[in-house]
Amino acid sequence: MTPTPMPIDLPRDWSTIPVEDLGGGVWRQMVVGDRLHVCRLRFAPHVVTTPHDHPHEQMTIVERGRARFLIGDAEREVGPGTVLHFPSGVWHGATMLDEEVVLLDIFTPVREDFLGPDGSR
């Protein structure tokens, strides 16, 4: 018996993905798979994210701009091309510096708390 192939989502361009205005100088785009979740976040200069932790493993890639990240008890200034890893339960947050910042956040498992009330993506 031949396995039934899973449907494959065609490649997407960020310009085709809706932008959600989260307020306070933060905008988000999302691509959600079965077990993996990618967010592209755009921050106005000087936005501060509230330090937090979550059970999701997270990697963040700095696409544009500079930010100061709190990771546990340490602070680190990062810029374009930097890749950060936040294991499950690690306390973290960020302060955007003097320019717009674009981050790609990758989560596993999917951040259900980012989805619509009906689970919509």
What's the average model confidence in pLDDT over 56-60? 95
**Mean pLDDT, rounded, for 14-29:** 95
92-109 tens-digit pLDDT: 999 999 999 999 999 988
Please, how many CA atoms are within 13 Å of residue 45, restricted to the half-sphere of its CB? Answer: 3
Residue ranges of domains in the chain: 50-108
**The tokens of 53 are what?**
């932790």
Of 114, 40, 52, the residue nearest 86 (C-alpha): 52
What's the mean pLDDT in 8-13? Answer: 70
For the entire predicted model, the pTM comes to 0.85
CATH of 50-108, one of 1.10.3720.10, 2.60.120.10, 3.40.50.2300, 3.30.390.30: 2.60.120.10
